[in-house]
Amino acid sequence: MACKRGALIVLEGVDKAGKTTQCKKLVQLLQQSGRPAEMMRFPERTTTIGQLVGAYLENKSDLEDHTVHLLFSANRWELVPLMKKKLEQGTTLVVDRYAFSGVAFTSAKPGFSLDWCMKPDVGLPKPDLVIFLKLSPAEAALRGQFGEERYETSVFQQAVQQKFEELFKDPSVNWQVIDASQSVQAVHENITILSQKIINTAQDLPLGELWK
Ligand code: Z5A
């Protein structure tokens, strides 16, 4: 019998919502319980395209807004063969940001529609579950100052949050919203329940295509 596929689980949220913390905890838990699982993140700054994006985020270079949007998307597409291979081999992928960040961040800039921003990512592997870690700007501020990177201002982050809320209205995506102001452990427990359910369901289903 063919090997059951792994699930594609994405964590999204604004700055400091706890995405990286929770991706690591989920992967660790799955691995300890004997399920193959790996973490991925976007942008993946180690590739040639990822280095261009990284320099832009670190304010070491300037790129035209459409251009950088397409580079963020290209950074996902270049990893699709690897993602598909791992999923087919039965590995669950826990991904820190994905196309939804791409759309929310660019469409928060003046002159960009959600529709235009979604186009380059149409057809990417569709996540079986997208968990949005919801955190208000006031609660995020309690977790420390914004960093030095581009986009790390409270006005821009609020605009991004509104764009994510527009994306939640899309019923073709399995969005689940979790209150990220809870303790790390409480958020982890919520994520674990949702993830274990979807891993069991997804293993018998074909991998979908995003926004198609
Ligand atoms: N971007 C884009 O424009 N287009 C795209 O297509 C993509 C991304 C994919 C990449 O940032 C930037 O690129 C991002 C979007 C844009 N710009 N911004 N802003 P990144 O992914 O490299 O960095 P980040 O997502 O902003 O990471 P972050 O600030 O580190 O947030 P986080 O991963 O959600 O949080 P964390 O590192 O797990 O935790 C942050 C702090 O809070 C840390 O001190 C934790 O210990 C603490 N924490 C975590 N959870 C809790 C709880 N529950 N209680 C209390 N404290 C907590």
Domain assignment of residue 121, yes or no: yes
Domain assignment of residue 3, yes or no: no
Contact 18, 180 (CB under 8 A): yes
Domain assignment of residue 2, yes or no: no
Q: Per the structure, how many domains does the chain have?
A: 1
Per residue in 19-59, pLDDT (tens digit) is 999 999 999 999 999 999 999 999 999 999 999 999 999 99
DSSP code for 124: S
Does the beta carbon of 57 sit less than 6 angstroms from any atom of ligand 1? Answer: yes
Per residue in 163-173, pLDDT (tens digit) is 999 999 999 99
Q: Which domain holds residue 64?
A: 8-205
- Does this model's pTM top 0.95? My answer is yes
Determine the residue type at 196: Q
Nearest CA residue ID for atom 36, ligand 1: 18
CATH number for the domain harbouring residue 199: 3.40.50.300
Nearest CA residue ID for atom 4, ligand 1: 102
Contact 78, 25 (CB under 8 A): no
Cα 2 from chain centroid (whole Å): 29
Does the beta carbon of 21 sit less than 6 angstroms from any atom of ligand 1? Answer: yes
DSSP code for 11: E
Q: Is the ipTM of this complex over 0.85?
A: yes
Domain assignment of residue 1, yes or no: no
Does the beta carbon of 134 sit less than 6 angstroms from any atom of ligand 1? Answer: no
Domain assignment of residue 211, yes or no: no
